[in-house]
């Protein structure tokens, strides 16, 4: 179907901001049912944490890359900003429109086909709107594993995972979304489709455009499809929980596990006591695994997973020798090995339920920081103490991917204090305290969730000027009209 005039993929002169004409053109591109306007769009206008409340001119749902390109050209011609959106599970406000009512949400949910699985190349080509869990299932149907795994996997999408370079619980072994991507298809700001879907593991033909788009939080282009890396499914997977006397013990246990298990160590997660208390309080059926066991206070919990392509006995011997060594040296005080798939799921459920349990406890101040693993115990004890001087009684919900040097270092209001009032009064001071300490310990202010709106000013303050200048140059080169996600990231 031919498009109306001014849609030739090139800039054609005067800007024409006319919402009604734009909506008519969008309907022409994606059909009446593909353009949503008016009330009832909360799922697209309010973020998962309910911190950002926006209003969109429209939510547009194209179903092919060609339609995405035509939507981009239409919005460009009408100088109308585009907010790409997948599962809308992002935690920094990057996928939520602002309150102006001028931005178009470009929802990728209808681009949800698995285009190909190449078992010999260990890769699959999927569209950006595929839900992560459905991609895992499609890989499993071929006896393969797509190892990206995170608590939002039932609703987040591959496009969002790549745009935020998502991490999750298996990064230690398989890397984050960037390491799991071999190629991309992207709609550019000029409304062209870049086909970079080669499934190559080696390609030294200039700048890695793929790597520019990964982690760009929707500010450089719209990802419409990706080639993902698959791995053979491990034959055996064993999970254990260890109680460690403190974070130093956890770091020592990690060293032992890395030495004894090598690449078979697929996950190493820590949880402080309050994390598990909140899970027990808010998630039915998830009592503390240490109930009835006398542990020295304040014991932290470690969840370890060992995967092996050989057999279960081999995996078990690695796990047992790791735990035995840690118990002997006093780096662990108790250990439980899951004796069934159901028990292993239950251990993982404890870890994965923490964000939900924390949300049920009330709004909190989140930090997804990374540090050299060796600096983590000192960072946590110094910063826990400093935060008490900022807000006495503030409760630390500290958990995450110790194996990657990545902690979710979250601050909850003191017991009995209204969470919203706590945030209003203390968020800037808490952030300054945490991020100063992160900087002093050589860390990063975002290991996983990205910058979005939430951390934009923090980034500006803390990233070297030269790096910010380079990032702005890239943005100007790829999106000169600031069409994609203006005000996010930069
Ligand atoms: P959205 O929220 O829709 O978008 C996120 C960003 O990507 C926005 O800036 C958006 O504009 C952009 N974007 C989305 N799709 C595209 C596209 N096709 N092209 C270009 N830009 C696009 N993150 C982790 O890294 N590790 C975790 O363990 C983790 N756990 C989580 C647990 C929970 C319970 C929740 C709610 C979130 C968690 N997240 C985690 C955060 C989040 O990054 C991931 O859920 C996910 O990667 C976001 O995918 P999405 O499809 O929901 O993206
Ligand atoms: Zn995480």
In percent, the amount of the chain with pLDDT more than 70 equals: 97
Distance between Cα 243 and ligand 1 center (Å) = 31
What is the rounded average pLDDT of the residues 54-81?
A: 98
Name all domains of the chain by residue range, CATH numbers in brackets: 114-232 (3.30.465.10), 236-355 (3.30.70.2190), 362-448 (3.30.70.2740)
360-403 residue pLDDT tens: 999 999 999 999 999 999 999 999 999 999 999 999 999 999 99
CB–CB of 82/222 below 8 Å? yes
- Which of ligand 1's atoms lies nearest the C-alpha of 155? 52
Residue 283: other Cβ atoms inside 10 A: 17
Cα angle value 246/247/248 (rounded, 5°): 90
CA 286 to ligand 1 center in whole angstroms: 26
Please report which confidence band the pLDDT of residue 15 belongs to, taking 50, 70 and 90 as the band edges: low
Taking residues 32-39, what's their average pLDDT? 96
Query: 89: CA distance to ligand 2 center in Å?
Result: 13
Integer Cα distance of 149 and 177 in angstroms? 10
Q: Which ligand sits nearest to residue 128's alpha carbon?
A: 1
Residues of the chain with pLDDT > 90: what percent? 91
User: Are the C-beta atoms of residues 186 and 213 closer than 8 Å to each other?
Assistant: yes
Per DSSP, the three-state class of 83 is strand
pLDDT value at 2 more than 80: no
Count the helices and strands in the chain (H runs, E runs): 16, 19
84 Cβ closer than 6 Å to some ligand 1 atom: yes
**pLDDT tens, position by position, 273-327:** 999 999 999 999 998 889 888 887 778 999 999 998 888 899 999 999 999 999 9
pLDDT of residue 292: 86
Q: What is the pLDDT of residue 159?
A: 98
Sequence length of the chain is: 490
Instruction: Tell me how far CA of residue 199 lies from CA of 226, 229, 239, 490, in angstroms.
Output: 9, 8, 33, 31
* Cα gap 22→76, rounded to integer Å: 10
pLDDT digits (tens, 9 = 90+) for 286-296: 988 898 888 87
What distance in angstroms lies between residue 217's CA and the mean position of ligand 1's atoms? 9
Task: State the pLDDT at residue 414.
Answer: 96
pLDDT at 310: 81
Q: Give the closest ligand to the alpha carbon of residue 401.
A: 2
The burial class, CB within 10 Å (0-12 / 13-18 / 19+), for 303 is buried
Distance of CA 306 to the CA centre of its chain: 23
**Closest atom of ligand 1 relative to the 489 alpha carbon:** 9
Confidence class for position 428, pLDDT limits 50, 70, 90? very high
Structure-token pair, residue 358: 């924390």
Among all chains, which residue has been given the structure tokens 């053979």?
Answer: 232
Lowest mean pLDDT among 5-9, 88-92, 184-188, 208-212: 5-9
Over residues 38-46, mean pLDDT: 95
Q: What is the model's pLDDT at position 13?
A: 43
Q: ∠438-439-444 over CA atoms, to 5°?
A: 65
| Pairing outcome for strands 104-107 and 82-85 | parallel
Work out the angle at residue 252's Cα, subtended by the Cα atoms of residues 247 and 255, and round it to the nearest 5 degrees.
130
Q: Is the pLDDT of residue 30 over 50?
A: yes
CA distance 106 to 96: 11
Nearest residue to 302 (alpha-carbon basis) of 260, 334, 342: 334
Across 208-231, average pLDDT:
98
348 within ligand 1 shell (Cβ under 6 A): no
Predicted TM-score of the model (pTM)? 0.94
Query: Residue 190 above 50 pLDDT?
Result: yes
Q: Are strands 114-118 and 231-232 parallel, antiparallel or unpaired?
A: unpaired
Q: Using one digit for the tens of pLDDT, what is the confidence trace for 327-363?
A: 999 999 999 999 999 999 999 999 999 999 999 999 9
- Arithmetic mean of pLDDT over the chain: 94
């Amino acid at each position: 179907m031919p498009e109306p005039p001014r849609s030739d993929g090139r800039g054609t002169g005067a800007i024409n901001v006319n919402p009604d004409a734009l909506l008519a053109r969008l309907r022409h591109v994606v059909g009446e049912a593909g353009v949503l306007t008016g009330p009832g769009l909360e799922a697209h206008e309010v973020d998962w944490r309910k911190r950002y409340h926006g209003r969109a001119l429209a939510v547009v749902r194209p179903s092919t890359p060609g339609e995405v390109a035509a939507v981009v050209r239409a919005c460009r011609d009408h100088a109308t900003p585009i907010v790409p959106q997948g599962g809308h599970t992002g935690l920094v406000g990057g996928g939520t429109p602002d309150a102006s009512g001028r931005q178009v949400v470009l929802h990728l949910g209808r681009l949800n086909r698995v285009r190909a699985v190449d078992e010999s190349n260990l890769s699959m080509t999927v569209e950006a709107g595929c839900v992560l869990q459905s991609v895992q299932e499609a890989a499993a149907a071929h006896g393969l594993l797509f190892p990206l795994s995170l608590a939002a996997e039932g609703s987040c999408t591959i496009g969002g995972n790549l745009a935020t370079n998502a991490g999750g619980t298996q990064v230690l072994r398989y890397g984050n979304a960037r390491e799991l991507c071999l190629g991309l298809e992207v709609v550019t700001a000029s409304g062209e489709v870049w086909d970079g879907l080669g499934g190559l593991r080696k390609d030294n033909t200039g700048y890695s455009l793929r790597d520019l788009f990964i982690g760009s939080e929707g500010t450089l282009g719209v990802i419409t499809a990706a080639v993902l890396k698959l791995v053979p499914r491990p034959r055996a997977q064993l999970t254990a929980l260890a109680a460690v006397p403190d974070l130093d013990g956890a770091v020592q246990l990690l060293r032992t596990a890395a030495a004894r298990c090598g690449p078979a160590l697929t996950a190493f997660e820590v949880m402080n006591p309050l994390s598990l208390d909140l899970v027990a309080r808010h998630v039915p059926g998830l009592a503390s695994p240490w109930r009835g066991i006398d542990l020295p206070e304040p014991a932290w919990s470690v969840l370890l997973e060992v995967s092996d392509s050989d057999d279960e006995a081999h995996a078990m011997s690695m796990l047992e020798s790791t735990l035995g060594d840690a118990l002997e040296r006093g780096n662990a005080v108790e250990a439980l090995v899951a004796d069934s798939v159901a028990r292993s799921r239950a251990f993982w459920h404890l870890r994965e339920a923490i964000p939900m349990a924390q949300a049920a406890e009330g709004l909190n101040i989140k930090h997804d920081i990374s540090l050299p693993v060796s600096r983590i115990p000192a960072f946590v004890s110094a910063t826990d103490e400093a935060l008490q001087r900022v807000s006495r009684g503030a409760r630390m919900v500290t958990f995450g991917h110790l194996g990657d040097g990545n902690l979710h270092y979250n601050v909850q209001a003191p017991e009995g204090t209204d969470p919203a009032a706590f945030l209003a009064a203390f968020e800037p001071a808490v952030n300054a305290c945490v991020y100063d300490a992160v900087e002093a310990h050589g860390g990063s202010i975002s290991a996983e969730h990205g910058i979005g709106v939430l951390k934009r000013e923090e980034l500006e303050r803390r990233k070297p000027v030269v790096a910010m200048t380079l990032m702005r140059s890239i943005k100007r080169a790829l999106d000169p009209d600031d069409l994609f996600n203006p005000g996010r990231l930069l």
